[in-house]
Amino acid sequence: MLKDDVKTALNTIRTSLQADGGDVDLVDVTENGIVKVRLKGACAGCPMSQMTLSQGIEKHLKEKVPGVLKVVAV
């Protein structure tokens, strides 16, 4: 199940986000490979959040979960 794989992969990077005062919640995974997440804590208002999303979270999920095409913040 794609959603379960995404949850597992997010949990492996969650500690890094939490170390900086942030976190991420999985909102949805669409059938076409779009992962929707909600950034929380320090990540929600950080000017570098787009970089964290694309170069951190999205890159990690694409490497670990076949079928993930894009990660978007909602």
Continuous segment of H or E residues that includes residue 39: strand 34-41
Q: Quick: pLDDT tens for 21-43.
A: 999 999 999 999 999 999 999 99
Strand partners, 46: none
- Residue-averaged pLDDT of the chain: 94
Label residue 15 exposed, middle or buried (CB < 10 Å: 0-12, 13-18, 19+).
exposed
pLDDT band at 72 (very low <50, low <70, confident <90, very high): very high
Domains of the chain in sequence order: 2-73 (3.30.300.130)
- For 45-60, b/e burial (b = at least 16 CB within 10 A) is eeeebeebbeebbbeb
Kindly report the pTM of this predicted structure.
0.91
